[in-house]
Amino acid sequence: MNPAALKDLAALALFAVAVAALPLFVSSGFLLNIVIMTLYAALLGQAWNILGGFGGQFSFGHAVFFGTGAYAAAVLQVKFGWNAWAALPAAIALGAAVAALVGTLSFRYGLRGSYFALVTLAFAEVFRILANTVEFTGAGVGLMIPLKESAANFQFASPAGFLYVILAMTLAACLITLWLKNSRFGAWLQAARDSEESAAALGVNVFRVKLVAIMISGALTAAGGVFYVQYFHYIDPHIAYGLGISTEALLAPIVGGIGTLFGPLLGAFALHLFGELTRNLMGDSPGISLMVYGLILVLMVSFMPRGIMGIFSRGPHA
């Protein structure tokens, strides 16, 4: 492992230790909830970053993977009596399978850029309509997870249990991203991002590389969906496949820095800090979060296209 990778790994370890120690010093459920939701946003952002940042395939419909994971976990528990921990890998696998479907249909026919973004958005909308219609998903009513408070049921008595789970998921996503930064596969993926024609001329199987990337991204996003269901005990089509999830997933890396390891973490922290300030000033009015996210997105693309990480990488004289 090269020195830069070791430095990144050490930084991740320090971050993990600091977050894991929080419940020892912080007893406020409100503060722990903010940390949990920040890590949850970082997980979604890192999942999007693998495909959008390293692969250059901007998705506007990552909710299709999130909703698939969330509904898979909920249906398996409510309809089939599965344990939540057993439902977790099944939901992740299903999220990867849906990602393989989206990727095959998109990349096989050379869709990229705005065309790929619109296709992912269309898939999310189709899945939302299906979930809103079929009976086993609860249709428009959604599904409620029965309260069976126990660590064995992925339902913890205190926020600390959920904090450790979402920390583990986020760290897994970060370690995969670190691997992408330093592996041959990651180099192939970034080569395809920069120029698919040049990458193909060098012998890179562009279709396969992008397909693996979207499957990894879909699997991690599905894990975020499972966590959401277990944390809030409820899911419905609007939440699962709505625009809010897709927007939150892409905003964290855009704000923090696309194609970087720590960008989604910084972006998630900045977004949730700004979100709490906004709620304190303007109240929790319906739709206000999407308006704020839209404003942030426009400002970041216009004035800070490299995100927060770009400030540090440019140096003092840039």
Whether 161 has a pLDDT exceeding 80, the answer reads yes
Residue 272 pLDDT level (bands cut at 50, 70, 90): confident
Whether 318 has a pLDDT exceeding 60, the answer reads no
pLDDT, average across residues 151-175: 96
CA distance 31 to 277: 14
pLDDT, average across residues 272-284: 69
b/e string for 268-277 if b means 16 or more Cβ within 10 A?
Answer: bbbbbeebee
Residue 316 pLDDT level (bands cut at 50, 70, 90): very low
Average pLDDT over the chain reads 91
Q: In DSSP terms, which residues pair with 150 in a beta bridge?
A: 155
Give the CA-trace dihedral at 155, 157, 160, 165, to 10 degrees: -10
Whether 12 has a pLDDT exceeding 90, the answer reads yes
Q: Say what percent of the chain tops pLDDT 90.
A: 77
Whether 122 has a pLDDT exceeding 70, the answer reads yes
- Residue 16 is predicted with a pLDDT of 97
The DSSP line for 219-235 is HHHHHHHHHHHHHHSEE
In sequence order, which residues have a C-beta less than 8 Å from that of residue 256 and are 6 or more positions away?
45, 262, 263, 264, 265, 266, 267, 268, 270, 307, 308, 309
Whether 317 has a pLDDT exceeding 70, the answer reads no
The alpha carbon of residue 155 and the mean position of all alpha carbons in its chain are separated, in whole angstroms, by 21
Question: What is the phi-psi region of residue 181: left when phi exceeds 0, alpha when psi lies from -120 to 50, beta otherwise?
Answer: alpha
Mapped onto helix, strand or coil, the DSSP state of residue 20 is helix
Whether 168 has a pLDDT exceeding 70, the answer reads yes
Any idea where the domains of the chain sit in the sequence? Answer: 3-242
- Residue 284 is predicted with a pLDDT of 61
Does 318 or 186 have the greater pLDDT score? 186
- Residue 308 is predicted with a pLDDT of 84
Amino acid at 225: G
pLDDT, average across residues 70-74: 97
Does 309 or 36 have the greater pLDDT score? 36
CA distance 285 to 83: 36
pLDDT, average across residues 129-151: 92
* Burial class for 194, CB neighbours closer than 10 Å (0-12, 13-18, 19+): exposed
pTM: 0.93
Residue 202 pLDDT level (bands cut at 50, 70, 90): very high
215-244 pLDDT per residue, tens: 999 999 999 999 999 999 999 999 999 998
Does 87 or 27 have the greater pLDDT score? 87
